[in-house]
């Protein structure tokens, strides 16, 4: 019975040791000793200087610490949007710096649109039945003889016209207004497009109604009892061959596209501005040829329409707007001795004024 005594003694010793250690941990550490007192006139020990804030030179790496190959260690750009010099120059060049659309021009545009619509109600007149060798040769070379295929060609000419119109909407609404955020420039472009299109459409519609030239398909299908009572052979539209409205509208839209890209860097400036101009001119040419292939027009009809549409698409924007840049006068007018020229409506017609 005496053997368990050492075990009990060891257990008691372990408990006492843990209590001593716990009490030692609970006691707070003594405060630091105050500095030794010095006699008056005797300097004390030197005080430690306060730590200094890191300077810019200490934060930024030295040139020797920057890897010239990978750029590692180089500080990044400051936060916030940054505009390059090219972007700033492009934004300035897209600002509208020409005369804005006036109220008088708006009224003239509305009058031109009314003329284009009102001419459609003029009854058809069979005034011009003349046929020349040039038109006959062109018709034999380009006409699609199968009737169903000719209808497909006619519909494709309508599709081409829609593509050209959509190009104007894309340049004005999406590229200029949405992408470049130039709403005022987009508004002026849209008004110029409306002014030019109504001008060419108004004159074309009126001349086609008055000229009264038979469409070539009259000679092919309107004597056939199957088609004699169709609207194509009984309506007044069969006498509106000269000059082609599709060719006029197509080349007007194509010329407008060229003019806007010449004067405004819509696609960033440079050679790429020629791409939409060339593309729309090719599309307009296809529309004109399809009108001949579908037997809707003679070759002279589309040639006159192409010439008139192109002239309108260039002349109207320049005469009323792009020619009057005060910061950069038009080179052609400057060579002729003009510093400025303006054209505006008057009660008796149009008035032209110039400064020498």
Q: How far apart are CA 60 and CA 73, in angstroms?
A: 9
* pLDDT for the residue numbered 18: 46
Q: What is the arithmetic mean of pLDDT over 218-231?
A: 88
Q: Check residues 55 and 166 and name the one with the higher pLDDT.
A: 166
Measuring CA to CA, how many Å separate 162 from each of 75, 168, 203, 256? 53, 10, 21, 15
Q: How far apart are CA 354 and CA 343, in angstroms?
A: 9
* pLDDT for the residue numbered 143: 96
Q: Check residues 6 and 97 and name the one with the higher pLDDT.
A: 97
* pLDDT for the residue numbered 167: 97
pLDDT > 50? residue 5: no
Least confident of 8-12, 156-160, 166-170, 310-314: 8-12
Q: What is the arithmetic mean of pLDDT over 185-189?
A: 97
* pLDDT for the residue numbered 92: 87
Q: What is the arithmetic mean of pLDDT over 106-110?
A: 97
pLDDT > 90? residue 326: no
Query: How many percent of the chain have pLDDT more than 90?
Result: 56
pLDDT > 60? residue 350: no
Q: What is the arithmetic mean of pLDDT over 41-54?
A: 53
- CA torsion sign for 164, 169, 174, 176 is positive
Three-state secondary structure of 218-246: HHCCCCCCCCCCCHHHHCHHHHCCCCCHH
pLDDT > 60? residue 356: no
Predicted confidence (pLDDT) per residue in 256-269, tens digit = 999 999 999 999 99
Compute φ and ψ for 84, nearest 5 degrees: -75, 165
Q: Which long-range contacts (CB under 8 A, 24 or more apart) does 170-179 make?
A: 171/257, 171/260, 171/261, 171/266, 171/276, 175/266, 175/267, 176/94, 176/264, 176/266
pTM: 0.71
Residue 91 parent element (H or E)? helix 85-93
Predicted confidence (pLDDT) per residue in 19-37, tens digit = 444 444 444 555 555 555 5
pLDDT > 50? residue 11: no
Q: How far apart are CA 138 and CA 215, in angstroms?
A: 14
Angle at 301 between CA 298 and CA 302, to 5 degrees: 95
* pLDDT for the residue numbered 88: 72
Average pLDDT, the chain: 80
* pLDDT for the residue numbered 329: 55
* pLDDT for the residue numbered 57: 46
Confidence label for 131 from pLDDT (cuts 50, 70 and 90): confident
* pLDDT for the residue numbered 23: 46
Predicted confidence (pLDDT) per residue in 271-322, tens digit = 999 999 999 999 999 999 999 999 999 999 999 999 999 999 999 999 999 9
Q: What is the arithmetic mean of pLDDT over 162-172?
A: 97
Q: What b/e string do you get for 209-220 counting C-beta neighbours within 10 Å, with b at 16 or more?
A: bebbbbbbbbeb
- CA torsion sign for 55, 61, 62, 63 is negative
Cis peptide before 243 (omega within 30 of 0): yes
Predicted confidence (pLDDT) per residue in 61-104, tens digit = 555 555 555 555 656 555 555 556 556 778 889 999 999 999 99
- What the block records as the tokens of 217 is 């398909």
- What the block records as the tokens of 82 is 């940054």
* pLDDT for the residue numbered 82: 52
């Amino acid at each position: 019975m005496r053997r368990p005594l050492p075990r009990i003694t060891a257990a008691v010793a372990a408990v006492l040791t843990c209590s001593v250690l716990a009490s030692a941990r609970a006691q707070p550490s003594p405060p630091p000793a105050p500095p030794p007192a010095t006699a008056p006139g005797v300097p004390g020990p030197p005080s430690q200087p306060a730590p200094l804030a890191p300077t810019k030179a200490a934060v930024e790496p030295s040139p020797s610490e920057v890897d010239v190959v990978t750029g590692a260690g180089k500080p990044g750009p400051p936060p916030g949007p940054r505009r390059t010099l090219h972007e700033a120059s492009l934004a300035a060049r897209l600002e509208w710096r020409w005369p804005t659309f006036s109220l008088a021009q708006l009224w003239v545009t509305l009058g031109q649109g009314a003329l284009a619509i009102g001419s459609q109600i003029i009854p058809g007149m069979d005034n011009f039945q003349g046929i020349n060798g040039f038109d006959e040769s062109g018709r034999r070379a380009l006409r699609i003889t199968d009737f169903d295929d000719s209808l497909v060609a006619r519909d494709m000419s309508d599709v081409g016209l829609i593509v050209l119109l959509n190009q104007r909407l894309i340049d004005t609404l999406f590229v200029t207004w949405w992408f470049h955020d130039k709403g005022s420039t987009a508004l002026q472009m849209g008004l110029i497009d409306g002014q030019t299109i109504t001008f060419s459409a108004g004159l074309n519609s009126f001349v086609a109604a008055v000229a009264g030239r038979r469409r070539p398909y009259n000679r092919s299908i309107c004597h056939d009892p199957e088609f004699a009572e169709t609207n194509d052979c009984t309506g007044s539209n069969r006498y509106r061959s000269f000059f082609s409205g599709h060719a006029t509208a197509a080349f007007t839209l194509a010329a407008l596209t060229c003019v806007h890209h010449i004067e405004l860097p819509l696609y960033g400036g440079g050679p790429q501005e020629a791409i939409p101009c060339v593309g729309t001119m090719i599309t307009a040419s296809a529309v004109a040829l399809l009108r001949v292939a579908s037997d809707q027009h003679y070759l002279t009809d589309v040639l006159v329409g192409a010439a008139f549409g192109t002239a309108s698409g260039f002349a109207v924007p320049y005469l009323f707007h792009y020619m009057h840049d005060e910061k950069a006068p038009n080179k052609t007018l400057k060579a002729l001795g003009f510093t400025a020229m303006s054209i505006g409506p008057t009660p008796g017609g149009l008035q032209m004024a110039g400064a020498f």
